[in-house]
Amino acid sequence: MANPSILILAGDGIGPEVMAEVKKIIGWYDAKRGITFDVSEDLVGGCAYDKHGTPLHDDTMAKAQDVDCVLLGAVGGPKYDSLDFSVKPERGLLRLRKEMDLYSNLRPAQCFDALADFSSLKKEVVAGLDIVIVRELTSGVYFGEPRGIFTEGNERVGINTQRYTESEIARVARSAFELARRRNNKVCSMEKANVMESGILWRQVVQEIHDKEYPDVELSHMYADAGAMQLCRWPKQFDVIVTDNLFGDLLSDAAAMLTGSLGMLPSASLGAPMANGRPKALYEPVHGSAPDIAGQGKANPIACILSFAMALRYSFDLGEEATRLEQAVEKVLADGVRTADLMGPEGGVPVSTSAMGDAIIAALDASL
């Protein structure tokens, strides 16, 4: 059987720097665990624009459709800010998401004990936190028609439309229930069924999919505003949260900050199952290309490394290896190894991007 395949699109700014550490880890799995990936690399974002005049070449798009998963670094930077909207680096990422139809965005909020002091919340509220927000990514108010700025009488009116079809809700609900079965069998669905018809339909469809296909999973519903309050008050009451595109955008950013640095946050975007039964998938850190620190060896590679751990779990069914990698990260943090973004007020000497990668490799070695 062919080796599992990964397309690496490191992108711009710190993207290639953090991805270099992931490549070391991929090499470690090959050398030490006999798990060999067919890795190919290509361009996305500003670097693709520089070479091809487009942020995502058609050949790259075709490759992305063909592999088991895509691993992306980050795109963009000040150099490209003045480009026309149609060729901006972000358009490369948006095209990948759209053409791969990645409708389910998984954003974990996980608090490593060694970083619990970083949270703006009390340590006991966040220590041990491990939840995932599943955000619908390809529909809802960011895409619904009609949209635009129109003139009505003697004033302008801005219009966006929240629109969800039954099948769009059903497929992201299934994605959340599948995830829950791999975790703690618990889903909370959030909408505003009290004031939005699309929310009423959301609640009905999630409940129907649950009753028909996932009755073993514990399901609750919450209004999204109440959910936001509960996330700040006692986030550990949740396990998997499923919500729409707009609420998911806000809730996942808020939940992420419960746990500290942007340099720590991974994500997965999943689509429909492929012929091998695994979902189409793109994994990427939540952070951007960080032009302010690019090229200085300061970037924290952990967000990208944890994104690869998600790939091990969700694209390759290597859950135990994913846990091994997450525990290596946990150990390194517990040992006090810190990139600059993880330095607390007490100070200390930060390590470089590659030294952080090396420390994680050493912890992987120690796990054998």
Q: Which residues bind Mg ion (CB under 5 A)?
A: 249, 253
CB of 4 to Mg ion, least distance (A): 30
Q: Which residue is nearest to ligand NAI (CB)?
A: 288
Interacting residue with ligand NAI among 289, 322, 326, 351 (CB under 6 A): 289
Does position 317 bind ligand NAI by CB under 6 A?
no
Interacting residue with ligand NAI among 16, 76, 140, 227 (CB under 6 A): 76
Residue 85 counted as an annotated binding residue: yes
Is 171 within 8 Å of 206 (Cβ atoms)? no
Q: With CB under 6 A as the rule, give the number of residues binding ligand NAI.
A: 22
Interacting residue with ligand NAI among 206, 227, 341, 360 (CB under 6 A): 341
Q: How far is CA 340 from CA 87, 263, 354, in A?
A: 33, 10, 13
Q: What is the CA radius of gyration of the chain?
A: 21
Q: Give the whole-angstrom CA distance, residue 368 versus residue 365.
A: 6
Q: How far is CA 88 from CA 45, 56, 81, 252, in A?
A: 7, 10, 8, 25
Is 28 within 8 Å of 84 (Cβ atoms)? no
Q: How far is CA 193 from CA 28, 93, 190, 217, in A?
A: 48, 32, 9, 21
Residue recorded with tokens 């999630």: 206
Is there a catalytic annotation at residue 142? Answer: yes
Is there a catalytic annotation at residue 29? Answer: no
Given ligand NAI, Mg ion, none, residue 75, with its beta carbon under 5 to 8 Å by kind, binds ligand NAI
Site for ligand NAI in 217-276 (CB under 6 A): 262-263
Does position 50 bind ligand NAI by CB under 6 A?
no
Residues that bind ligand NAI (CB under 6 A): 14, 18, 74-77, 90, 93, 262-263, 284, 287-293, 299-300, 303, 341
Annotated binding site for substrate: 97, 107, 135, 225
